[in-house]
Structures are given as structure tokens and as C-alpha cells.
Structure 1
Amino acid sequence: MIGQWCYILLWRMSEQEHVVFLDFFGCVPSKEDLQNSLAKVGTAIQGARLLVALRHDVNTGLDLSALLPGSPTETVSHAAKIKSVLIAKARLDDLQVKRLRIVTDPDCAQWWKRVQEVCFTPCYSIDQIYTTVPKRTVKPDGDSVSSIGNQVRDFFRSLPAVGQIGFLRSPNIPAEVFVHGFSTRFGGLSSYPGMKSLNLTYTMKKPDPEALIKENIRRLADFAGFDGGNLHVAAATHGIQVWTVGEEKPAGYDAVISNMPGVVVAAPSADCTLVLFADPVNKCCGAAHAGWRGTMTSEGIAMATVNAMKSKFGTNPKDVLVAIGPSIGTCCYEFGVEEAKQFEEFDPSCIVHKPDHPKPFVDVARTNKLQLQRGGVPASNIDMSNTLCTKCHPDKFFSYRRDGTPFGNQIGFIGIKL
């Protein structure tokens, strides 16, 4: 249909659960208006849960029950349209639904395109359906397209955290020289169940938009006492590549090192071992993500990090202070028999055999400790006091093995104080 309004006929959806977002923000619709719009989009919304967006000042006395037979209906309202969208997204995440259809009008096309870029990630399937809606009493975009990023940032900053923020520290690392810690899972804004609440890494495969991750980082940084804008987090590709801050980034890297005051380096984890390194003599530091593959490749990611600090900054392994953080423990890390053999060949103490369990359990944290010792780091310099099991502590940590996908990430971080 060509003209002021248009309607896009969409392909038949699968049976997967989805939500239809009715964009009536700025309108004063009647129930009949809503039903007429629904009728025009036909089968594209059948079986969906409905979210109706209205300005809070028109959301009075409108009975939305039985708007679409068999479809639960909820109202999302706020004084600002972008905030209605963010509230609706949080509801999607509560429901663990990633398929969204937006019923709106053509004048809102550019606004919605920008909203998708800022508020959602590519893991969502989003279709826009354009149709006639009642005349809006405010402009269709609500606010300018260019201001959406700032509006999202300000809205996230206004929200209360889910839980209390906190982090673990090592007594091994001198607090007067280094800021450091291992984050826990609470004190942030992430709402998707397996990622709630202080998820600290952004990926296009997970529901948290980059703006939300930046706000989570800001909150941790403010609490821990560093500049979140100077945080550099390893990519976690399960290898042994080390990146030195200030140099060109490699394609993939599992550790970051620095000797720049004010710069904080970090590594992510959702079960893998986190390792922090401090050299108080040469004033440098590092953080490594030690997955089992990176641990068992060549000298291992932990020693690869020490060797990089030696090469770049003159570090002597005997001066390195190490803190090994939370990871999945031998209580939970059941491993394939063939894959476990390399740990057993390295050192039998890295394997635990349990009665009535045909598969062994692997101690990746201990493996990293022994690799560091064999590489010249004194055992007394390696702190294991924070090696809590991530899977056993849902009150403290994210865990891929426990929560499945999508999962959140905590980080281990360290930097030289200014």
C-alpha cells in the first residue's frame, strides 16, 4: 500500500514465543483503535504476548483485557518514549523472549532503527510492522534521534542496582601501589536471568546492550576506585596471546599487561580461572583469562603473561605477586577422560577421581599455580585464597556450567594507582 501509511506483510513465524510491541506512545487511543491496528497486521501477531506503549498521562481507564484473544496484554508507560522502550526490553528479558515485532507508523522508522542500535543487540529478532495508528498528540519520535544514546545512558544511571556491589581482594597485592579485585555478580543492571546483574562484558550474542555494560563498568569502577574509561578487558579466546596496552591489538588475546599508571587491565570469566599479576619492583601488572585450553597450550597463559611482562617491562618472575581468583572447582568441573589426560600427565594432583563417577574432575586453578611455580614464581607469591567455585556460589558469581546461555561475566582487574 503506497501513501501516508504502509503495511508490510511478513513471513509466517515459527511457533517460538514472541512479543508484539504496540507503539501508541503520544496517542490517545481507544480500545477500538488498538483492535483496528491489530486487525490490519493480521497473522503477523497471532499467538503473541502484547506490550502496549502509552504515555503515562493517557494510560487512564483503558481496559486492555481481551485485546487479542489468547494473548496476554500488558501496558508500558512513561513520560519519555525511550524509557518506555527500555522498560519493555527489561520485561522481554524477564520473560526470556528474544523475538519482537513492533507495530508503529512510518514516521517512526528512523527513530526505531536508532533505538534498535542502542537498546538491543543482534541476538534479538526484531521486525517492524508499519500501519495506521491514531493521530499522535506528540511528535512520532518523541525525542530527537541524535539524543537517543544520551537518553539511554542517563536512564541507566538513574536506575537502582540489583543487589549490592562488591569485589574480592587479595592480601598478596599491595593496595598502596595497585587497585585490584575480582568482581562479584551483583550491583548492576543486567536483567536477563543468567546475566543478572553486574554483567561486565559486551558481546553481540547476548542481550545486554553496550550502553548497559558501560554503566555496569562505571558502577564497579566508582566503587573500586578507578577510571572505568581506562579499563581494558581481555577478549577471552582460549589461547595464550598477550596484549600490551598501547600496542596494536592482536586478533585474539587472553591476557593484558600494562605499566601505565591509571590504566586498569582485566580478564573475564564465567567459570574459567582468573589470574592477576603485580610486579611492584618494575611497576607493571597483568590480568589473564585461563580457560583449560589456554592453560594446557604451550607454557600456559599464566606463564605467557609473566614472560610478556619480562620481555616488555623487565619483570623477574621471582618478583611477581599473583592472585588466582574464582573459577569452577574440582567439586563441579567434571571432565572428559581423554581431555583430562593432559592434566594428569602434567601433574597427577591436578586430577580428582571420585567414587561412582566414571569421569575425572580437573583443577585448573592448581594447574596454573604449578605452571607459575615451575616458571620461577615462588609458591609464597601465589595467593589462592579467592579460588571459590563459581558454580557452587550463585549468590556471588556467574557460571556457564550452572546457568547455560546466555551467561554473564565477572572480571578480575588490576591497575597501577596514579
Structure 2
Amino acid sequence: MAEAVLIDIFGLKLNSQINCMLLKTLNAVHYLHATNAKFLCIMCGHNLKCENDCEHDSELEMINSLPALQMGFEVISNSSMAAVLYTVKQKLDEKNLDSIKIMTTLQRKALMKVFIDQLFTDVYHFEFEDLPLDLGESHIKESIELNSVTNQELEEIQNDIKTYLRSLPGLKGEPIILTSSLIPDTFIHGFTTRTGGISYIPTLSSFNLFSSTKRKDPKAVVQENLCRLAQAAGFNPEKFHHIKTDHANGVWIMGKKEPNLYDGITTNQSGVAIAALGADCMPLIFADPTKKACGVAHSGWRGTLLGVAMATVNALVAEYGCHLEDILVVMGPSVGPCCFTLPRDSAKAFHNLDPRCVRLFDSPNPYVDIRKATRILLERGGILPQNIQGDSKSDQNQNLDLCTSCHPDMFFSHVRDGINFGSQMGFILIRE
């Protein structure tokens, strides 16, 4: 049984016959679903005129006149279908509902599926039921094939969504980007925090920069957050690449064939932003101002032990002729040894690397310091100690060593927030 029932009459051309049919439909929906469904909703526009035999001036006025509203239906209207459906999504998320029935006409079913694909993820489960009304949409022409949409319709839907999301205010203030004094102005770089985006779900709010099938933030929202980051930082969001996490040590050298999964990227192309995501795992950025090359890496506990930091350094040396003494490395915010534990068998590898990387080693779940382990591995690999920043040994530390789990106002955290966590990132590019 659906937890929510949505009745789509967006673009309805009103007349007394449809009014009567709609009233019967609402009564039937209420009879079948009112007991079990936690949200009954009518989705409509508010900018269309009714036909001559209708005494109401708009969809909204007509819907508000129906006695079925007294049965608990909520009306959500806007001139933009993207705005209507996104508002519905917010209400569903407030109620923590993910099983949804949509009643719409055959003509609009394919269009509605595109909207849902853009604004929802696989966390939600949709079923469709035909609504026996002739809607006669005016703002988007019907597809010749009812089970598909044309390229023009797809473009119009995407533009509708982009325009609406772009109009939303940033939450929790403006974007705050942490930077390092170690990286020269040859590069644009930074580490993002939680503020300034449009993601509204508490554990994703507000500047979430990653979408997955297991989280509730759709790609369209993450893309809008990325556009706001690009504007704040000064790079082109169309020239942007982030790692495809494998929790290992693979590195993609930009310009060569891109692997399916990798945890590091290097490039010497100007104007191309590269980024490593993180939410407890540590984003690393690398820069060589002499050779004008840079890199990023995603370093969780597995990647740390597998040497992803030095794998990225070695790629810079091998591909661009960088010298170890010229490479600068900045460690971004990650979970600290105050909050991160591993089973003793896994923690043993860190203890073998250096006992200082583990606290309470004799306990079943020792505390592990991936930041200290990363510095040790980088120094052993030949990176100068003064060319590493982002931990307590740094001379000019600018909140880069804060524990992501301990600072919910600033950072996302998987350890703290569970499976529906948000992601921040570290990014760098060579100025053009």
C-alpha cells in the first residue's frame, strides 16, 4: 500500500465535465487510501484559464472549491512543474515517506517519469495509475509516442528543473571554502564545508556534493550545488572531474584512458578542476608550482594503507617530471582519532606502520589516526615535512585538521550521520 498518493492534474483545461470526473476520482482515492496513506496530494498549475463553461478562473481556484479537500487532500500549485514536484518531495521527506503512487494521464506519464528521474533517487519507490482525464497540456506538447519523450521535451524539463533550483536561496549562509596558505596563486583550490547549498535533508544540508542511489539528494540538486561552488571559487563547472571512489590506490592521469574506478587524479591542463570527495575519508590536494601540475586523492583508511597518497605523488613525478622537493600536499578535513575506530585486526596495520597512529591498541576497537599515517607515508616517500599541511604539525593550519564527526555545523560525516550522509570535497585547478 502506498504511503503517499499524488494526483497530477498539472495543465488541466477546465470544464464542468472534467470537474465532475475529478471529483469522483478524488472521492475514490480518499475511500481507498485515506486510512493507510499518510499524504494525499493534488499537483496542479495556477497560470491557466478555464474553458467557457467553467465558472472558475484557474486550476487552483477550481480545486480549492472541491469538497474533497475537506477529506485531507493537500494542493500544491505553481506555474513550474519542477517547483510543484520538488515541493512535494520536500513534504515526502519531512514525513519520511518513500512509497508513492502517482495518478496521471497516459499523455503525461512519460513526462512525469522524466521529472521523477531528475528529482528523485532509487531510495523512493513509485507506481503509476492511469487518471481517466483529458488534460490537454498547453506548455509541453504531447509526444507522438506516449511511452517516450522527445529530445525537445527532455530539454524543456531539464531547463525547468535547472531554472527552479537556481532560484532557491542558499541554506545556512554563503558557501565557505577553506584554503591553505601553502598553495600559491598559480592554483585555485579549497575544501568545501556544509553551508551555501540547497540540499535540505538534515544529514545532507546544505552543500552536499555527491549523489548516489542510496541517498535522497538527486543529481540535479548536487549539480546546482556544484555550480554554486564553481561560481564562488572561480572555475568552470563544465570543466570538472571528481574521483570515482574505489577505496584503493588507482590514479587516473588525465589525458589517458579513464579507468572505471580510481582514487586519485593528476593533470597539467589549465582551467580543469579536479576534486576528491570526502565525508570522514580525507581529501588530499597536491600541487607543483614549478612544473604547473596538480592532483587530488581520496584517502580513507584502506586507501591510506594502500598508499594512495604516494601513488598520486609518483604519478606527478612520472608523468610531468615533478621533483619530490617541489610537491606540496594539503590534507583536507577528515574524521579524527577522537572518533574513528577499527577492529583490532584492521588497526594492527596502522600500528605496524607507526604505533603513534593508534590509540588504545589493546582494546577491541582501537582509535586510528589516518592523518598521522598519511604524513608518515608522505615523509617516508620523500615529501618534505614543511611541504605537508593540514595537521597539528602544520605552521599555518586553517581548520583543515578539524574532525568531521566532531563538527556537525561545518562538515558532513558518515561516522556521525549514517548511510544518508552528505559529502564535501577538496578541489584544485591550474589558473588559465
**TM-score, reference length from structure 1:** 0.88
Rounded to whole Å, the distance in 2 between the matches of 1:200 and 1:210 is 9
Q: After the TM superposition, which residues 83-162 of structure 1 pair with which residues of structure 2 at under 5 Å, given as runs? A: 83-133=83-133, 136=135, 138-139=137-138, 145-146=153-154, 147-162=156-171
How many pairs align? 394
Q: Which runs of 5+ in 2 are unaligned?
A: 47-57, 143-151, 391-396
C-alpha displacement of 1:258: 0.6
Contact 2:343 2:364 in 1 (8 A): no
Question: In structure 1, what is the Cα distance between the partners aligned to 2:350 and 2:409?
Answer: 30
Find the residue that maps to 1:238 and give its secondary structure.
coil
- Residues 333-344 of structure 1 mapped to structure 2, 5 A cutoff: 333-344=340-351
Note the 1:300-315 alignment, pairs <5 A: 300-315=307-322
After TM superposition, the structure 1 stretch with the greater mean CA deviation from structure 2, 161-170 or 187-196, is: 187-196
What secondary structure does 1:229 align onto? coil
Corresponding residue of 1:365: 371
Structure 1 pair 376–158 and aligned structure 2 pair: CA distance change class (3 A) = same
**Quick one: which amino acid aligns to residue 170 of structure 1?**
S
Counterpart in 2 of 1:184? 193
What amino acid is aligned across from residue 370 of structure 1 in structure 2? I
Offset, 1:187: 0.9
Structure 2 partner of 1:58: 59
**Cα drift, residue 347 of structure 1:** 0.3
CA contact (8 A) 2:344 2:361 kept: no
Q: 2:411 aligns with which of 397, 401, 406?
A: 397
Distance 1:43 1:64 in 2: 14
What is the Cα deviation at residue 47 of structure 1? 1.2
In the alignment, structure 1 segments of 5+ residues that lack a partner are 1-12
Mapped partners of 1:213, 1:400: distance in 2: 18
> How much does 1:119 deviate?
2.1
Alpha-carbon contact 2:341-2:365 (below 8 Å) kept? yes
Q: Which amino acid aligns with 1:23?
A: D
Deviation per CA, 1:308-363, whole angstroms, max 9, x where unpaired? 111111111111111101001111112211111110010001012299x7521100
**Secondary structure of residue in 2 paired with 1:387:** coil
Does the CA contact (< 8 Å) of 1:55 and 1:81 recur in 2?
yes
Separation (CA, whole Å) in 2 of partners of 1:22 and 1:387: 50
Shift of 1:191: 2.2
Shift of 1:84: 0.9
> 1:263-299: CA deviations, max 9, x gaps?
11110011101111011111100111001011112xx
Q: Give me the CA root mean square deviation.
A: 2.4
Output aligned runs, 1:172-211, within 5 Å: 172-174=182-184, 176-211=185-220
Q: CA, structure 1 residues 142+75, in 2 after alignment: closer, same or farther (shift >3 Å)?
A: farther
1:377 is matched with which residue: 378, 383, 395? 383
In structure 1, distance between residues paired with 2:426 and 2:20: 52
Equivalent pair of 1:94/1:191 in contact (CA under 8 Å):
no
| SS in structure 1 at match of 2:203 | helix
Task: Note the C-alpha offset of 1:42.
Answer: 6.7
Aligned to 1:9: none
Aligned: 1:238 with 2:247: yes
CA gap of 1:22–1:402, structure 2 versus 1, over 3 A, is same
2:22 corresponds to which of 33, 52, 73:
33
State the AA in 2 paired with 1:203. Answer: S
Q: Which amino acid aligns with 2:103?
A: V
Residue 348 of structure 1 corresponds to which residue in structure 2? 355
- The Cα shift of 1:138 comes to 4.6
Give 1:140 deviation, angstroms: 8.7
CA distance in 1, matches of 2:69, 2:116: 29
Secondary structure (helix, strand or coil) at the match of 1:203 reads coil
Q: Determine if the alignment matches structure 1 residue 222 to structure 2 residue 231.
A: yes
**Contact 1:201 1:409 (C-alpha < 8 Å) held by counterparts:** yes
* Preserved CA contact (<8 Å) 1:275 1:289: yes
Q: Distance in 2 between matches of 1:34 and 1:296?
A: 64
Contact 1:352 1:360 in 2 (8 A): yes
Distance in structure 2 (CA, Å) of the matches to 1:215 and 1:80: 17
Local SS of the residue matching 1:76: strand
- Over 3 Å counting, the alpha-carbon distance change for 1:74 and 1:343 in structure 2 is same
Alignment partners' CA distance in 1, 2:157 and 2:41: 21
User: 1:195 offset after TM fit, Å?
Assistant: 1.2
